Structure 1
């Protein structure tokens, strides 16, 4: 039986950061258990390869949801990283911290130490921004953040001008002083390759003698001695094995797997656990509850001018861009297809931006629902323009299907279950139409392909939303942080209520979903969580 000071479950966006920071002094021994394998995969390292990684069972949990009433009982597809780097190894790499007010909201909800001024130092510590350090951006962190502007398609400029014509300002840095406006996205890449947390953090940690990283190690449950976590039982190479923790067990398995491991360990709603054949040990009714996610919808247009379709659809176009990438590490294969976007107000009554925009100079009208084969776009010139409301009020949950640790959870998104969320989706659709009607985009739009000009009324728009919208892959809050045990899972120091020596450090602890892509704040949670753990270790 192996023994370490700290055992971390999950080598993903937060877990990799935790492993690196806990081990860098050399004082503590750290064991990381990762259910997936190595990140040395062509489709991970080449940035545009995420279209393939999204559907690769070898590096992806490939979860399906239960039929969702708000989406006309459609089942959703939820990719989650099952590999070193976790979802940071398969995502679209967009780096968005969220609005300053998001974190001040967290603090106001009873979570001291989680306001914007508290978390900004951790964002900066994690980052090296290619534009250099300033009051908001980091200059010497492990995670490299770059802009797509040098390789973005010229059509993005039409989107920016159209947005300004519609009344929205240009913003050169969504992660700086203010999030509001439109502009180029920043992404986690360096030298033309993806910058996952495996590359950023684990590449450093694995060189240390006090770090052990076990891949293809499937965690079954946390070991409890009374109300204290003492280790983890996991499967590797077909054998059940045990690793013990002298100080703490840290769950960084993400918003789906962390609550699953808690429930399999007997931590959850006792009655629900008994019904699934799990012996209840610690009553914690909020485990798996309060789940939040972003829903997005794309409008697709046929273009009068060339788009990326002409570069990436024909075989000779793929070959030419492949050669360009190999020789220069540049071009469309070196960046995300989410090249432009922004954060705007869908109506003047909003006190802060409530809508995220995506502009991609490429289209996929023949893609199966819920899939985006990004290397095979339409044979004609086209582009897509999408939106997602940033702070939905619908709440879902996850629950065990059985006591089998290899059976995925039942995921209930409960999408569009509030009038607020339905209203904002309609506003988002009208916002897309407003910007598309601006002169700068009208100059290049031949026709709206999907949903098409027949969709005009609020009722028609909402029906289209229910039929077509899908997750933007940002589930959070299933192990929510908060000041009381009755409706939260962890306290503001990320300690699991009712259990000593056990924390959750990942996006599942978000009190509310942040305004935008969730990978950057998940990494921040890893950075801050490591500091909390080290502070408590020093005072023990």
Structure 2
């Protein structure tokens, strides 16, 4: 539910990687079409000094409701003040610094706002819209076109125990996400020759980059036990059935813990967290230069941008404030309350893969994120954790905690921290780039019009087209991609013209 947008430079890098029209100017224009921000009252803003993240930049007229949760607790402010006292700065804009972040939240009904409430329900009675739930796509049926490319003739799907085919007169658009869009394309005969050969699917169109270049965000939590007399209500109360029932009843009144959200964030650079930043940068740069001839096409260009991100202080490190327990390996104790700071990794160098292991559409593909294949990712993660653990000595956090539960005092040196990270980290479920929008010679899968290379009418419109993952939770960007993709499909957007306009504006 966190509504965060990437730094301007990191969206402009889409265009630098060979995608005219995919730049910050167009991103802002399209994401604003979705945003329906409901600004907090002046009273709330005065009471919560961290609601300062240039909220004037958020669109007000879109169908997706955005707001601060009904309850901003003193504990949320305590966590942010600790980050500021530790040396970070308030966010002058939403992409770098410490601030409260809006949620996709309806402040009147106190429920989540999402694609169903914003887009489907207002349009569900339109005669040209048909939605089937639990209808699993199996493959796209294609045929050779006179121009030598592939045409999508229809889509085969399973519904209510039967296989059906819907015929396509215009475009077929995949929006199944980074985990499933490449799977559907492979089952349709599109992708790597070696992958399709192993599963017995006839190759109709070779695209070596399909299912490659996977990037993800990772996180791991550091938890402290709270003193019993500090008076803060945390999410830990909900583990108790009696308290949970009480807060469910309160939610119906627009009160209680179920009106809270995850709103405290810091986006920051490695240099702000670690004295080893320059050492890590130089070591990573040397390794990349030494191995540049071994990389698949297009990866060196991405790595050069990622090196520049470290050097310029891009906010690749994220800290998330969580008012409760969420960490490992030690479990929470009954009746205790906790506080957790997450370290999240946004600019990972490791690249994963997603590939089919069977021609049976019911069998999921193999997801291999290749976490920590590039040692720089573990280096940065370790430095982030070391910085977060030092917060225990910073007020006001140090005044309200008893002890560190996870990773725990037995985890001391860098090697032990690294082992703990590997054991307890998790995906933030932001997987991207499996159908990357890149030049075909750079292992691209779709062009700047989101059309699959070698096809006339198959497009991909989801997070899988992102060529290089950015420092933000991706929901806002998914909506922006969808809006820009809709205009492209309708013929209302010319990438080359939009790129020229952006260059003129910058000049």
* Superposed displacement of residue 436, structure 1: 3.2
Task: Give the match for residue 107 of structure 1.
Answer: 15
Is residue 232 from structure 1 mapped to residue 155 from structure 2 by the alignment?
Answer: yes
Structure 1: state its 5+ residue gaps.
Answer: 1-92, 370-375
Higher helix share: 2
Question: In structure 2, the residue corresponding to 1:213 is in which secondary structure?
Answer: coil
CA deviations on 1:138-172 (whole Å, 9 max, x unpaired) are 11101111113x41332112111111111112238
In structure 2, relative to structure 1, the CA distance for the partners of 1:231 and 1:310 (3 Å cut) is closer
Distance 2:369 2:128 in 1: 40
Distance 1:230 1:247 in 2: 9
Task: Give the match for residue 61 of structure 2.
Answer: 140
Task: Give the match for residue 344 of structure 1.
Answer: 268
Is residue 326 from structure 1 mapped to residue 252 from structure 2 by the alignment?
Answer: yes
1:64-463 matches, within 5 Å, as 93-131=1-39, 136-148=57-69, 150-171=70-91, 177-190=93-106, 191-226=109-144, 227-304=150-227, 305=230, 306-309=232-235, 311-328=237-254, 330-336=255-261, 338-348=262-272, 350=310, 351-364=313-326, 378-463=334-419
Deviates more, 1:96-105 or 1:277-286: 96-105
Distance 1:352 1:320 in 2: 43
Distance 1:289 1:377 in 2: 42
In structure 2, relative to structure 1, the CA distance for the partners of 1:134 and 1:333 (3 Å cut) is closer
1:21-60 matches, within 5 Å, as none
CA deviations on 1:105-131 (whole Å, 9 max, x unpaired) are 111111111111121101111111112
Distance 2:170 2:333 in 1: 51
* Superposed displacement of residue 255, structure 1: 0.5
Structure index of larger Rg: 2
CA deviations on 1:294-338 (whole Å, 9 max, x unpaired) are 11110111001234156423333212211111122x3321343x2
* Superposed displacement of residue 456, structure 1: 2.2
CA deviations on 1:223-271 (whole Å, 9 max, x unpaired) are 1011111210111111111111211000000011100000000000123
Deviates more, 1:529-538 or 1:156-165: 529-538
Question: Root-mean-square deviation (CA), in Å?
Answer: 2.3
In structure 2, relative to structure 1, the CA distance for the partners of 1:424 and 1:365 (3 Å cut) is closer
In structure 2, relative to structure 1, the CA distance for the partners of 1:266 and 1:386 (3 Å cut) is same
Distance 1:259 1:242 in 2: 20
Number of aligned residue pairs: give it: 434
Distance 1:357 1:381 in 2: 20
Question: In structure 1, the residue corresponding to 2:168 is in which secondary structure?
Answer: strand
CA deviations on 1:180-238 (whole Å, 9 max, x unpaired) are 11122321111211111111111123221111112221111001011111210111111
Is residue 484 from structure 1 mapped to residue 402 from structure 2 by the alignment?
Answer: no
In structure 2, relative to structure 1, the CA distance for the partners of 1:368 and 1:500 (3 Å cut) is farther
With the length of structure 2 as denominator, give the TM-score of the two structures.
Answer: 0.81
* Superposed displacement of residue 377, structure 1: 8.6
Structure 2: state its 5+ residue gaps.
Answer: 41-53, 145-149, 278-309, 495-507
In structure 2, relative to structure 1, the CA distance for the partners of 1:208 and 1:302 (3 Å cut) is same
In structure 2, relative to structure 1, the CA distance for the partners of 1:503 and 1:485 (3 Å cut) is farther
In structure 2, relative to structure 1, the CA distance for the partners of 1:415 and 1:398 (3 Å cut) is same
Question: In structure 2, the residue corresponding to 1:107 is in which secondary structure?
Answer: helix
Distance 1:438 1:332 in 2: 27
Distance 2:97 2:437 in 1: 30
Distance 1:422 1:319 in 2: 41
Distance 2:453 2:333 in 1: 48
Question: In structure 2, the residue corresponding to 1:517 is in which secondary structure?
Answer: coil
CA deviations on 1:41-87 (whole Å, 9 max, x unpaired) are xxxxxxxxxxxxxxxxxxxxxxxxxxxxxxxxxxxxxxxxxxxxxxx
Deviates more, 1:435-444 or 1:397-406: 435-444
8 Å contact from structure 1 (residues 107, 114) kept in 2: yes
In structure 2, relative to structure 1, the CA distance for the partners of 1:536 and 1:100 (3 Å cut) is closer
8 Å contact from structure 2 (residues 327, 340) kept in 1: no
Distance 1:290 1:98 in 2: 20
* Superposed displacement of residue 135, structure 1: 5.8
Distance 1:236 1:263 in 2: 21
8 Å contact from structure 1 (residues 346, 431) kept in 2: no
Deviates more, 1:501-510 or 1:482-491: 482-491
Deviates more, 1:511-520 or 1:242-251: 511-520
Distance 1:270 1:256 in 2: 19
Distance 1:429 1:537 in 2: 44
